[in-house]
Structure 1
Amino acid sequence: MSSPHTVPADTADAKAAKAEAKKRRSAAKADARAASRRRRLRSRSDRSSGSTPSAPGTASGQGTVPDGASSTGLAGLRDRVVELWLRRIHPVLDVVSPIGWTVLAVTVVCWIAGLVLHLTELNVIAFALTVPLAIAALFVLGKASYRVTLDLQTHRVVVGTRAVGRVEVANPTQRTILPSRIELAVGSATAQFMVPRLAADAEHEELFAVPTKRRAVLVVGPVRSVRDDPLSLMRRQVTWAKEQELFVHPRTVRLDEAASGFLRDLEGTPSSDLSSSDIAFHALRDYAPGDDRRHVHWRTTARTGKLMVRQFEETRRSHVVVALDNLAEHYASVDEFELAVSIAASISGQTFREEKELTPFTLDERQSTRTLRQMMDDYTVVEQLKERIPFHELGQKAADLAPNASAVMMVVGSHTTARELNSAANQLPIGVMAVAIRCVDEAEVKRSAIGGLDVVTLGSLDTLAKALRAVGR
């Protein structure tokens, strides 16, 4: 076992990771379109040839159209040419690098010109260029059979921690495999490992660590074996292990000490609606058909001589809304936005762990609350919006998603004005505890009020518990 390798720090570049993911999605869509086009062409060819599917029980080879005849005419010829290009020609041509193609083109031109014009100098140049091309071809000839395993210790880490994994390369054959180079793509960077000579059934293991500085969904992999010549004229690579996703979650803090501050109504708060079954007693009334006999008040019934039942007030269970403002114009820096995401994720995580109703969202997305892991995955991919959206829509969306909410926590940036905060608060239902948390780089905890809206300013995630305790007073 070799010592762990550290993948370059820029592998945590979220933009590069998203670009890689976009390329994969585009390739998948192109493959789907090609497959759909082949099915349509095959179906059109079947209709034009008058072929029909064989009935159940038909013997093999009777009443069926051979596979080779499923596509005829220009459509069939085009499909065969495309298949030949993808499977046979393109893999061979892809071995030659751009430098190699340039050298090859110059070599061909020199050979042709030297032979036609009888110029010895050009023939010498052509021969001198042919030699490295031939040597490069010898480097990439042959086929190695590896068994490669890519294993991540975990697929989810928190910002600031290292993701550790290993690449195991084994020789499943009975012959010796010469040394080679293994490349592991991580985001926009590539880590390289040298695999020594492997005897039959031998194994080699490499450990690696991925540093994480920002939220991102990093693509780890694929793992490729690479064979090339010293001049990089030709390069042959074979993919052995597919890519895996690594979620870098935002940093969060636990808010156990501050939970009593913004989640005071654990048992619910009474409302004006009456119910026949709840926990807040209101009065006694006459029995009506259909009432639950468990709620009969027997003492009063014995005294009055008629059945009397308890009447209750409906209570409202704690329902916390966490509204994250993700408009780019409201944040002074990327670090300020990352602080806002961490605060929203911390409050949402604490609410989820205390098993209270929760509605987390941004202006363009709603985070899942099925599991804590899925919710943190959704916070990992939150992005800033570049377009201009009226800020009052944040409050309107909170009212639409959770009209019976007991507390609304709006997490905003330093550039959000008091007028915008007031306009968003005016959209909330009456009686809701509304708190705005302003994220300002390196600011001290400060509390203020805008109408009925509590505003807390803070500049560090570590002061979140202190800020929420101030709201609870």
Structure 2
Amino acid sequence: MASEALGQATVAHDRREGLGGALGEYALIALRMLRGALGVVRPTAWVLLAAAVVLWVLGRSLGWWELTVAAVVVTVVLALCLLFLIGRTAYDVTLDLNRTRVVVGERAVGALTLANTGSRAILPSRVVLPVGAGRGVFDVHRLAAGASAEELFAIPTSRRAVVKVGPVSVVRGDPLGLFERVHRRDEPVDLFVHPRTVLFDGQSLGFVRDLDGMPATDLSRDDVSFHALREYQPGDDLRHVHWKSTARTGDVMVRQYEETRRSHFVIGLSTSPADYRGEEEFELAISAAGSLGLRALRDSQRVEVRVQERALPAATGKQFLDSLSGLGHSKARAGGIVELAGVVAATMPLASVVVLLCGSKVDANDLRAACGRLPYGARVLAVVTETGASPSLRRIGDADVVTVGALDQLAGALRKVLA
């Protein structure tokens, strides 16, 4: 008997828990529906709703016909505005950017296509396209079943950034702006605004790999220090196939090399706000870093880029410029150019060429200390950006220090270094 009573109590408890769980789910659904219903009410509508309630109460309690008439008018206006929410907004939305990567100053052109794939017409509505901190608004007329509409737009780019375009929102509302129903469509697209860069003719950096490079422990598919033979793998350069071994073994064999330290081109870009006199100097330093990195990549150098708090991906030119697009200032605790040089020395001890970039607030003592921390035997070049300054070259310790006041001065200043 005791076991039967216990079993019945357990069943009753389970039923209560199941009922409680079901009620909890229904409560959550009801809460979501209530939140969605309240979400269509704009602040102005809340004011009018409160005014209507007050007018109704005062009109009834005081017996003033005028207050009752005013309450009726406000209530009718609210009801009529609610009618504008009725209707479908089931557009098939396509957001197409002509280019997702542009340079500062270029316009990004795109198209927004809205298609009615349903069997009924869609009443006029507004489409909102967020672009960064701003937004574009398009008025879409009545769209018949099977019809489509296209809206073209252009995004001006005045500064380097990663701009999020979208998601597209379809808005249905009344002319007075009292109620508004928003449906989000499509996925946002990232627009990369790259910094300005300049091109150098030929191997203007003058830092190429040679047979005197010190071997490292890393193996490479392409260098000058032969290490061994191995079987061919997809993606290997056919220029490195060793045909005699291939004929002898019957398997395709390729040469494997040891990386030399002269294949390591390192850029140390300071992002500390204390190193710059303003945003113009900071942007100039980023543009100079981008120009140097792109030239080194074209020269088949292995490029590594460090800022105070992290390494920037730089395997390809596109990846490198993308990482520069979203680069901002580092935190004060990350230190300046001296601390950055210490990080470079600790993480890249086999660098052959190190280029440090900073602003004009860095004095000669800090530059000397930073260059002294870099790996022994590496050639060091420091680029100091100073807005409006004339290009100049000086020596601090074993490092060449170039000062540039504009991006177009960089190529000429480097020629002086290599002269």
* TM bracket (short chain): 0.7 to 0.9
CA distance in 2, matches of 1:364, 1:387: 11
1:446 aligns with 2:389: no
Q: Is the 8 A contact 2:269 2:289 kept in 1?
A: yes
Q: Which residue of 1 aligns with 2:240?
A: none
Q: 2:28 aligns with which of 57, 70, 82?
A: 82
Q: 2:4 is matched with which residue?
A: none
Q: Percent of pairs identical after alignment?
A: 40
1:267 to 210, 222, 240: 210
Is residue 130 of structure 2 the alignment partner of residue 157 of structure 1?
A: no
Q: Given residue 189 of structure 2, which amino acid in structure 1 is its aligned partner?
A: Q
Counterpart residue number, 1:114:
59
Amino acid in structure 1 at the alignment position of 2:340: L
Q: 1:256 to 1:78 in 2, by over 3 A?
A: farther
- For 2:410 and 2:16, the matched residues in 1 are separated by 70
Q: Which residue of 2 aligns with 1:413?
A: 359
Tell me the alpha carbon deviations over residues 231-257 of structure 1, each in whole angstroms, 9 at most, x when there is no partner.
211112222222211111111122234
One-letter code of the match for 2:324? Y
Q: 1:70 to 1:168 in 2, by over 3 A?
A: farther
User: Partners of 1:346 and 1:254 in 2: how far apart?
Assistant: 7
CA offset at residue 370 of structure 1? 3.1
Q: Is the 8 A contact 1:262 1:471 kept in 2?
A: no
Report 1:181-330 matches (<5 A). 181-257=126-202, 259-263=203-207, 265-271=208-214, 316-330=261-275
Unpaired runs of 5+ in structure 2?
1-9, 217-222, 227-243, 245-257
- Counterpart of 1:411, as a letter, is L
Report how far residue 168 of structure 1 moved. Answer: 0.6
How many residue pairs align between the two structures?
Answer: 371
* 1:83–1:372 distance in 2 versus 1, CA, 3 Å: farther
From 324, 328, 332, the counterpart of 1:387: 332
What SS is found at the alignment partner of 1:140?
coil
8 Å contact 2:308–2:340 — kept in the other structure? yes
Let me know the Cα RMSD of the aligned residues: 2.7
Q: Does 1:101 align with 2:46?
A: yes
Change over 3 Å in CA distance of 1:314–1:105 after alignment to 2: closer
CA-CA distance at 1:412 after TM superposition: 0.6
Q: How far apart, in 2, do the equivalents of 1:123 and 1:315 lie?
A: 90
Is the Cα contact below 8 Å between 2:211 and 2:224 reproduced in 1?
no
What is the deviation of 1:435?
0.9
Could you tell me which residue of structure 1 aligns to residue 92 of structure 2? 147
Aligned: 1:371 with 2:354: no
Give deviations 1:340-396, integer Å, cap 9, x for gaps. Answer: 111111111221222212211101121113332222221112111241525321111
Contact 2:215 2:261 in 1 (8 A): no
Q: For residues 376-433 of structure 1, what are the alpha-carbon distances to aligned partners after superposition, in whole Å with 9 as ceiling and x for unaligned?
A: 2211121112415253211111111211111110011011111111111111122211
Does the Cα contact within 8 Å between 2:91 and 2:114 map onto a contact in 1?
Answer: yes
Which of residues 389, 397, 403 is equivalent to 1:457? 403
Structure 2 match to 1:335:
280
The answer (yes or no) to whether the contact 1:329–1:386 under 8 Å persists in 2 is: no
Letter of the 2:361 counterpart: H
Alignment of 1:393-432 (within 5 A): 393-432=339-378
Aligned to 2:298: 353
The answer on 1:362 being equivalent to 2:289 is no
Cα pair 1:225 1:240 within 8 Å, conserved: yes
Q: Equivalents in 2 of 1:326, 1:272: separation in Å?
A: 32
CA offsets, 1:265-316, max 9 Å, x none? Answer: 332425599xxxx9689xxxxxxxxxxxx9xxxxxxxxxxxxxxxxxx9964
Corresponding position of 1:130: 75
C-alpha separation in 2, matches of 1:196 and 1:114: 42
Relative contact order higher in (CA < 8 Å, ≥ 6 apart)? 1
Q: Deviations over 1:298-336 (max 9, x none)?
A: xxxxxxxxxxxxxxx996433111000111011111111
Query: Is residue 177 of structure 1 aligned with residue 122 of structure 2?
Result: yes
**SS at 2:373's partner residue?**
coil
Residues in 2 aligned to 1:315 and 1:384: alpha-carbon distance in whole angstroms: 33
Cα–Cα, structure 1 residues 131 and 471, in superposed 2: closer, same or farther, change >3 Å?
Answer: same
Q: 1:121/1:372 Cα in 2 relative to 1: closer, same or farther (>3 Å)?
A: same
Per-residue deviation at 1:78? 4.5
Distance 2:143 2:215 in 1: 78
- 3-state SS, counterpart of residue 164 of structure 2: strand
Deviation of residue 463 (structure 1)? Answer: 1.6
CA distance in 1, matches of 2:289, 2:211: 23
> Aligned to 1:332, what secondary structure does the other structure show?
coil
Equivalent residue letter for 2:210: E
CA 1:266–1:145 in structure 2 vs 1: closer, same or farther (change >3 Å)? same
Q: Name the SS for the 1:369 alignment partner.
A: coil
**Are the aligned partners of 1:269 and 1:316 in contact in 2 as well (CA < 8 Å)?**
no
Q: Work out the CA distance in 1 between the residues paired with 2:298 and 2:38.
A: 56
- Amino acid paired to 2:187: K
State the TM-score, normalized to the length of structure 2.
0.82
In 2, Cα distance between the equivalents of 1:249 and 1:126? 58
Deviations 1:192-233 (A, max 9, x none): 112222222111111111011111111111212222222211
